Structure 1
Amino acid sequence: MGYKGLIIKTFLLLHLLIFSVHPTKEEVDNNLIVKTVQTADAQTFVCVDFKSQPSLRHPLMMNHTNQLMPPISFPHNTYGDEGSKFEISSVEMSKIECPSGTVPILTSYNGSMSTRSFDKIIYSENGNDKENSQMASVVTVPSNFYGLQSSISVWEPDLGTGRPPRFSGAIVILQNGGSRVAVGWSVDPHIYGDNHVHFEIAWVDNDKSCVNLRCAGFVQISKKAIPGIIIRPVSTVNGKQYIFRVRIVKFMGDWVLKVGGELVGYWPSKLLTHMSEAADVISWMGVVEAAPGEPLPPMGSGQPADEGETKAAFFADVKVIDASRNFATPALKTINTVVTEPKCYEVGRPSTSDDGLKFYYGGAGCSPSQPIK
């Protein structure tokens, strides 16, 4: 097996851990709810005291002293919060009107989280799960990383009909061993009860995992960029393109998340067994899942990567925070592309510029008349 093959196998084995993870959730105690907010999109959020959110009630966080964090001073050598200069607009999220000192948490989920973990994305090495989950990605070779940035194009693929689990999304993942954090978007009618695209975050630590704010793992600060919230507008083929810009930075010992200019919150390192110091692999990927026997849904825009600008989904402005603690564009020799089902999906050839790395990805999916080999 060559070096590239070894890297890809290592990558798959790292993600194989996800299949032994049972997603957890924790209902919000009614006694902690300060206010309930219903949005025009029929989403329900509850406002809870900042210190009453699940992560700050975790036993390991009882003596946590972080308060509402000041604006983060990010490492230099990167674009500003408004992003690079190409002609693309940022998505919008509705501000939830919660009282001062409280944070919003989405509670109007349609179904159980047990059918899908946000980054349960790689089939097992023996192929038993290959029909269910697929990805098209760019992944770094192992090194020490202290953060990332990326602009992710946002789409709302038509998933068609089919039994759950059935979803399509795009995510970035920082990981080290059995610990990882992820952020991106997904369309998942079973979880959200609609066909809209939602902002999602997740974490995994050994045998535990969680999506959004349903359990301890992420400390929410923003009242606008809220995990689970519907985001819009979305990109259209041959039409206007919309993105959201993501940064995850190791700061004051924790993994801090910003979306555009908004400080969302942070994953406390105390809750991530293998990521107290650094991550060792970063991946950017389109992901889909379908129930056994069901056709796989479209990924990204539904168009193949070679359709390119205004048609295919993409990741752009991709940089990592390296050992020098500065943002740097990954060298092409330090990344690999991984596509689990080339018949259905693809990743275009990555390119680099002063803004960072960029690549297109996606595909229309596969029907039962096109059996997966």
Structure 2
Amino acid sequence: MGYKGWTIKTFLLLHLLIFSVDPTKEEVDNNLIIKTIQTADGQTFACVSFKSQPSLRHPLLMNHTTQLMPPISFPHSTDDDEGSKFGISNVEMSEIECPPGTVPILTSYNGSMSTRSFDKIIYSENRNDKGNRQMAAVVIVPSTFYGLQTSISIWEPDLGTGRPPRFSGAIVVLKNGGSRVAVGWSVDPHLYGDNLVHFEIAWVDNDKSCINLRCAGFVQMSKKAIPGIIIRPVSTVNGKQYIIRVKIIKFMGDWVLKVGEEIVGYWPSKLLTHMSEAADVISWMGVVEAAPGEPFPPMGSGQPADEGETKAAFFADAKVIDASGSFATPALKTINTVATEPNCYDVGRPYTTDDGLQFYYGGAGCSPSQPIK
């Protein structure tokens, strides 16, 4: 199913991913900053009191009880968090040394731009206003989901020149109705002011959306895995491969994010209108955007899916937490593959192992009328 092009079910699933929302943005109040830290990479982080971060000042969370969950409380998959069984290394994230009782929030975004709208991360079916947004994805048919895990290979594609917006990344998304959360990586000079790869999260709820910690929506707990932080090292073609291992788990009513062995934080269910109980669709995708009239940038490693191991970008170890509350590998009959611009990007045939669902994806980018040779 879904391996030979478009199907009715694929078309319907794409419509489940369509939305256009106004982004929200909230700068950190200078009066709340306890310490400012600048990294060797030039990023600036504000250390704020845990309770002063944007999400915990949201009106709906005034009486919210903070989650302090031990990792042992999570459901367990068949593999551990230390690395994939196929010998690929985890990336490193530098700990930001904020004082006790505080959390770091990235503040050094490109000052000339407003928060990127979440509809630019996930493809819109409106072909008259698509903004050259494209994806190569695996989408699971609707069901009841309480979380997921996946390994995402990390790349730093050269986007070349071109006017903004210009973006390339890889994300995994949980959604239900008008609510969704996403996590992955991106190279986005317009957002970050550099050409480096960044750890990125996002959420949307009806008419609101947000990237990283720029507004209320995600409760940050980690001082190491920080939304927006630069990721090092990155994979190279025919060289060593690096991944981030991601889990999103419904825990004590909220959606908890874990990267490797680190609990990053959580999205409070109170802020996700349609995901207070469960998600109904999960998708794994490479995504790009170019300004109208500009050629599409590379996706993933810049190599097509059929280049395979050590060359093409991939998602691996993908499992879902189903209605039983256990990790399960998606059955191939329950997934569809989607490449919205197959002249430029492709998705390899997914397959399953004991570790979970795996697939390659990507492409060098091109103009839609000029296929990759």
Same fold, TM exceeding 0.5?
yes
- Consecutive unaligned residues in structure 1, runs of 5 or more: none
CA distance in 2, matches of 1:318, 1:166: 28
Regions of 4+ moved over 3 Å: 67-72, 113-116
* Other structure's SS at 2:170 match: strand
Task: Check whether the contact 2:83–2:89 (CA below 8 A) recurs between aligned residues.
Answer: no
Q: TM-score, normalised by structure 2?
A: 0.95
CA distance in 1, matches of 2:56, 2:12: 34
CA distance in 2, matches of 1:35, 1:67: 24
**Aligned residue identity for 2:16:** L
Paired residues for 1:353-368 under 5 Å: 353-367=353-367
Task: Check whether the contact 1:155–1:235 (CA below 8 A) recurs between aligned residues.
Answer: yes
Q: Deviations over 1:53-97 (max 9, x none)?
A: 000000000000115443352213431111331111110111000
CA distance in 1, matches of 2:333, 2:71: 35
Residue of structure 2 in register with 1:350 after alignment: 350
Deviation at 1:254, TM superposition (A): 0.2
Paired residues for 1:73-152 under 5 Å: 73-110=73-110, 111-117=112-118, 120-125=121-126, 127-130=127-130, 132-152=132-152
Residue of structure 2 in register with 1:171 after alignment: 171
CA distance in 1, matches of 2:292, 2:225: 34
**Aligned residue identity for 1:123:** S
CA distance in 1, matches of 2:313, 2:129: 25
Paired residues for 1:3-18 under 5 Å: 5-17=7-19
CA distance in 2, matches of 1:149, 1:184: 12
CA distance in 2, matches of 1:119, 1:272: 20
Residue of structure 2 in register with 1:41 after alignment: 41
Deviation at 1:358, TM superposition (A): 0.3
* Other structure's SS at 2:79 match: coil
* Other structure's SS at 2:358 match: strand
Residue of structure 1 in register with 2:225 after alignment: 225
Residue of structure 2 in register with 1:55 after alignment: 55
Task: Check whether the contact 2:60–2:270 (CA below 8 A) recurs between aligned residues.
Answer: yes
Deviation at 1:233, TM superposition (A): 0.4
- Consecutive unaligned residues in structure 2, runs of 5 or more: none
State how many pairs are aligned. 367
| Paired-residue identity, % | 81
Task: Check whether the contact 1:116–1:165 (CA below 8 A) recurs between aligned residues.
Answer: no
Q: Deviations over 1:83-117 (max 9, x none)?
A: 33111111011100000000000000014244542
CA distance in 1, matches of 2:290, 2:28: 30
Q: TM-score, normalised by structure 1?
A: 0.95
Task: Check whether the contact 1:119–1:202 (CA below 8 A) recurs between aligned residues.
Answer: no
Paired residues for 1:179-198 under 5 Å: 179-198=179-198
CA distance in 2, matches of 1:55, 1:84: 33
Residue of structure 2 in register with 1:281 after alignment: 281
* Other structure's SS at 2:109 match: coil
Task: Check whether the contact 2:150–2:318 (CA below 8 A) recurs between aligned residues.
Answer: yes
**Aligned residue identity for 2:218:** F
My pick for the range that moved more, 273-282 or 5-14, is 5-14
Task: Check whether the contact 1:123–1:132 (CA below 8 A) recurs between aligned residues.
Answer: no
* Other structure's SS at 1:248 match: strand
Paired residues for 1:243-254 under 5 Å: 243-254=243-254
